Chains A and B, each alone.
Chain A
């Protein structure tokens, strides 16, 4: 199918931008976690933030690979569980932030 709008390409770049935003948020989270001197609780929260970041990267990577597969009617739509997983990573990062700030 002719696609002058380069929709899969733009969607891929949107995922890239989002992983970049996620990286910035995760770096700030790590900085906050380790700022008040390393304690075991803070290191644990920092590790959780790293795991969340990796989860987010995994979702994005999977989706980007799916976007590369072009059938007759374009790549398949985003699966609801992947959208939910990406959003829950952001929520969990914010919860870690609330724990660290208090």
Chain B
């Protein structure tokens, strides 16, 4: 968590990243940028999914609908914040010539998506029978 707070400062301070180590091959930086953008798209898809649950499942009970929508929106927020954080960490590691950071986040996100998907299946089945 302290590490995260330290990285947040770097999000807004491009110079501090630029002063460390040496500039890597630009292709590595661009690859890192594309990974960041892919995570941002994932975040935007989760946020769009939150809106879609709210809009296109009007028959759902209020609690379920709002709960699912908020869960997806929260996942989108986490995913986009983590996208910047991971980009900063990778950029810094490349400059310093260290190993790239490893992350538990992809596993956590896939578990969260699994839970939401199972919840959707349950909701659809229960409504189909009821």
Q: Which residue of A lies closest to B36 (CB)?
A: A83
Q: Is A78 an interface residue (CB 8 A)?
A: yes
**Total contacting residues, chain B, CB less than 8 A:** 44
Verify if A48 is at the interface (C-beta below 8 Å from B).
Answer: no
Known: A32-B51, A35-B55, A90-B44. A97 touches B69 (CB 8 A): yes
The smallest beta-carbon distance between A28 and chain B, in angstroms, is 4
A101 within 8 A of B: yes
Provide a sorted-by-A list of 6 A–B residue pairs whose CB atoms are within 8 angstroms: A7-B26, A7-B27, A78-B29, A83-B33, A97-B50, A97-B73
- Of A10, A83, A93, A98, which one neighbours B87 at CB under 8 angstroms? A83
Q: Is there an interface contact between B52 and A28, defined as CB atoms closer than 8 Å?
A: yes
Interface centre among A79, A94, A102 (most CB of B within 10 A): A94
Q: How far is the CA of A78 from the CA of B87 in the complex (A)?
A: 10
Residues A77 and B51 in contact, CB atoms below 8 Å apart: no
Q: Does B122 sit within 8 A of A, measured CB to CB?
A: no
A residues lining the B interface (CB < 8 Å): 3, 5, 7-8, 10-11, 14-15, 17-18, 21-22, 24-25, 28-29, 31-32, 35, 73-81, 83-84, 86-88, 90-91, 93-95, 97-98, 100-102
Alpha-carbon separation in the docked complex, A46 to B29 (Å): 35
Q: Which residues of B contact A88 (CB under 8 A)?
A: 80
Question: Contacts A7-B30, A102-B66 known; A84 to B47 CB distance under 8 Å?
Answer: no
Chain A residues near B23 (CB-CB < 8 A): 73, 77
Cross-chain contact B55 with A32 (CB below 8 angstroms):
yes
Give CA–CA (A5, B31) in the complex, Å: 11
Q: Roughly how many angstroms separate A98 CA and B13 CA in the complex, as a whole number?
A: 29
**B35 closest partner in A (C-beta):** A14
Within the complex, the shortest CB–CB distance from A26 to chain B, in Å, comes to 9
Q: Which 4 pairs of residues, A with B, have the shortest CB-CB distance?
A: A74-B26, A28-B51, A77-B29, A80-B14
Tell me, rounded to whole Å, the shortest Cβ–Cβ distance linking A32 to chain B: 5
Nearest opposing residue in chain B for A76, CB measure: B26
Q: A31-B51, A97-B73 are in contact. Are A90 and B37 (CB under 8 A)?
A: no
Contact of B12 among A15, A31, A73, A80 (CB under 8 A): A80
